[in-house]
Amino acid sequence: MSTPIGQAESPVRPLTVLSEEEKMFQQAVRRFARDEIAPRAREMDEAGAFRQDLLKKFFELGLMGIEAPEEYGGQAGTLFQAVLAVEELAAVDASAAVIVDVQNTLVLNALLRWGSDDQKRRYVPRLAQDTVGAYALSEAGAGSDAFALATRAVEQGGDYILNGRKLWITNGYEAAIFLVFANADPDAGYRGITCFIVERGFPGFSIGKKEDKLGIRASSTCELILDNCRVPKANMMGEKGRGYKIAIETLNEGRIGIGAQMVGLARGALELATTYAQERKQFGKPIADFQAVQMDLARMATDVEAARLLVYNAARLRDAGFPFTQEAAMAKYFASQIAESVASRALEIFGGVGFTRDYPIERYYRDAKIGRIYEGTSNMQLLTIAKHVLGKR
């Protein structure tokens, strides 16, 4: 097996104890993130665009096909390996992390599990080697109520004709392959929802508005327009009417990835604050010498470690084949809460300069907010957790 950045095993082991291969992988991604992405993060944030040369390096390093089998040009890795990559990228730039996260935990994950052999042969090699993918579920009226889809799919000869608009689609600007959810049988309600593999060049498909966002600005978030978009029947993924199941089960795994993104972001903010506290002097000594600052840093470090344990636990459970839905919801909920809190407290340690763009901490603060919103709001995670606690799952 050939891999440019190492491979991870998937045994169940103590959560933060990594195998030697996992350590090598983690360190390789960390070096790449710090050397290649960190120096360009502000530029990309201000431009609202991710550099194409860095995107190309994602593919060269194998980061865009972590769980894809070797026969398709992937790394034959694990979800835990993807979690390590997302965390390391997010420690320097949350936008970089979510690009890799969506590619692996949503798009490839769904295709590998639900795609036919023919679909895997046609699309997995592209996704692993040179093509960005996107996951198109959300609509204007279908956010937390994810299955209130207005997009329709009508069978016509050997094709399906799709009509509707998708909103808030991550990777939408760069992607060439889209997993699009549409209702092929509205009378059946959510049981009519079906997943289709749509290529950018299909007739009737176009990219609409690119959102101008508060945070993760270098990650594109776009509207997709389906105007009599013609999709071959061979591109229906899974069975007709089973799209809701694909969506639910894929998002359960995707939430672990978002948890990892938030852990990385929080860790990066903590590292910035720790360094600054040792450099900034007041009353003749570094502010890190003051007990109040020490206690705040200690609380932040504890929060980050607790969130990491939740995320790693959920990823290990999934890779080992155990139930993980509750743990994934807990990981996403808690990690997104502490990311916002740690970023805020880290900014306060910087004082007035933290509120300017002279230091990157303000970007971490802006980037953190989305964690409590996308791939299931905090309230939706709490409802999922409550159902498991009450035995109603």
Q: Is 253 a catalytic residue?
A: no
Instruction: Please provide the distance, in angstroms rounded to a whole number, between the alpha carbons at the two ends of the chain.
Output: 40
**Token pair recorded at residue 235:** 């591109």
- Rounded to whole angstroms, the Cα distance separating 111 from 23 reads 28
Distance CA 109, CA 66 (A): 10
- 336's tokens: 């997104």
The β-bridge relationship of strands 133-136 and 177-183 is parallel
How far apart CA 313 and CA 256 sit, in angstroms, is: 10
Place of tokens 């860790």: 267
Q: What is the DSSP letter of 142?
A: B
Q: How far is CA 150 from the centre of its chain?
A: 25
CA-wise closest residue to 5 among 107, 22, 17 = 22
Return the bridge partners of 135, or none: 179
Cα(151)–Cα(164) distance, rounded to whole angstroms? 4
How far is Cα of residue 237 from the mean position of the Cα atoms in its chain? Answer: 21
Answer yes or no: are the C-beta atoms of 151 and 166 closer than 8 Å.
Answer: yes
Q: Please state, as a whole number, how many other Cβ atoms lie within 10 Å of the Cβ of residue 241.
A: 17
Q: Exposed, middle or buried, 327 (CB in 10 Å: 0-12/13-18/19+)?
A: buried
Whole-angstrom distance, CA of residue 199 vs CA of residue 206: 10
∠ CA 116-122-123, nearest 5°, is: 90
Q: Which of 22, 174, 340, 375 is catalytic?
A: 375
Give the position of tokens 């994602």: 58
- Interatomic CA distance for residues 41 and 360, integer angstroms: 9
CB 248 within 8 A of CB 354: no
Active site positions, annotated: 375
